[in-house]
């Protein structure tokens, strides 16, 4: 068990290192030379670095430090240490790549900067790390005041991109927003991957037959749940299962084939743990 924990820590450190270097490469070679900024603390660091001609890597560490210390008790020592380590590697990588201009084309810088940034940040998030103090602050604020995480980050970033518009010009601010959007989509892809899972609930008068066919033809496990119809008050059988994105169309075909009137609810599942049924 101890050796597994050590290997797990080494693996996380390795991917956080790789992710931070990739992120630093995106910031240093695509975004910063073209006055395209990221959101959160990193974005504030990029604005201050440009205005006052300060070291970008050092600013990222200094501005993130209060948030890291603030999160120490709430998020645990391991997470905070991983975050601090990721910030140090990001600062070193950003300084190394700083102003090595990959392209002067703003559109190319926006698209490829966003993609590379998303890969780097997504790799870190997938390995339980973080690079930006805004995320940690938003977690604390959302728990205390009941504001959603997404709303808080959005509000902060509106002010940051407005400041970027005043400093760099509104065209640059719009490219920055586009980079942020591209990066967020790539982050989702890196975390979920090709094999993102779907949680499915099926309500049908032929639940038994549908469940048997799902087990037989898709080789998946299903669970039967008991429910009561809100309108009729009649007993209802529900099927619950988790399957991959690629299995979903075939599952829907099976359901329609047996009961065209069946009610089907599909929800994205970011992580799945536990076993999977296989036919004997």
185 versus 1: the higher-pLDDT residue is 185
Question: Which residues have C-beta within 8 Å of that of residue 116, sequence separation ≥ 6?
Answer: 22, 23, 25, 26, 30
Domains of the chain: 2-192 (no CATH), 197-269 (3.30.70.120)
Residue 14 has pLDDT above 90, yes or no: yes
Distance CA 167, CA 173 (A): 9
Give the pLDDT band (50/70/90) at residue 107.
Answer: very high
The secondary structure element, H or E, covering residue 222 is: none
Q: What is the mean pLDDT of the chain?
A: 83
Q: Please, what is the angle between helix 56-70 and helix 40-52, to 10°?
A: 140
Give the pLDDT of residue 140.
Answer: 65
7: helix, strand or coil: helix
Give the pLDDT of residue 220.
Answer: 84
The number of CA neighbours under 13 Å toward the Cβ of 147 is 16
| Burial (CB count <10 Å: 0-12, 13-18, 19+), residue 141 | middle
Give the pLDDT of residue 23.
Answer: 93
Q: Which of 80-89, 90-99, 184-193 has the lowest mean pLDDT?
A: 184-193
Structure pTM? 0.73
């Amino acid at each position: 068990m101890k050796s597994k924990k050590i290997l797990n820590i080494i693996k996380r450190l390795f991917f956080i290192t790789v992710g931070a270097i990739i992120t630093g490469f995106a910031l240093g070679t695509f975004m910063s030379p073209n006055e395209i900024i990221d959101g959160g603390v990193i974005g504030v660091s990029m604005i201050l670095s440009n205005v006052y001609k300060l070291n970008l890597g050092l600013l990222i560490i200094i501005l993130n430090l209060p948030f890291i210390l603030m999160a120490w008790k709430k998020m645990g020592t391991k997470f905070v240490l991983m975050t601090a380590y990721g910030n140090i590697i990001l600062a070193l990588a950003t300084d190394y790549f700083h102003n090595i201009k990959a392209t002067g084309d703003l559109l190319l810088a926006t698209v490829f900067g966003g993609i590379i940034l998303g890969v780097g940040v997504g790799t870190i998030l997938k390995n339980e790390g973080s690079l930006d103090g805004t995320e940690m602050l938003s977690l604390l604020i959302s728990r205390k005041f009941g504001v959603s995480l997404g709303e808080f980050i959005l509000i902060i970033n509106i002010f940051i991109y407005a400041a970027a518009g005043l400093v760099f010009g509104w065209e640059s601010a719009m490219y920055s927003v586009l980079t942020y959007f591209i990066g967020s989509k790539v982050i989702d892809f890196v975390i979920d991957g090709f094999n993102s899972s779907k949680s499915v609930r099926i309500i049908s008068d032929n639940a038994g037959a549908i469940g048997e066919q799902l087990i037989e033809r898709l080789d998946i496990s299903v669970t039967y749940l008991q429910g009561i119809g809100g309108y009729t008050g009649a007993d209802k059988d529900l099927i619950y299962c988790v399957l991959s994105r690629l299995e979903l169309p075939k599952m829907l075909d099976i359901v329609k084939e047996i009961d065209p009137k069946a009610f089907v609810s599909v929800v994205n599942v970011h992580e799945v743990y536990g076993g999977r049924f296989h036919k004997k």
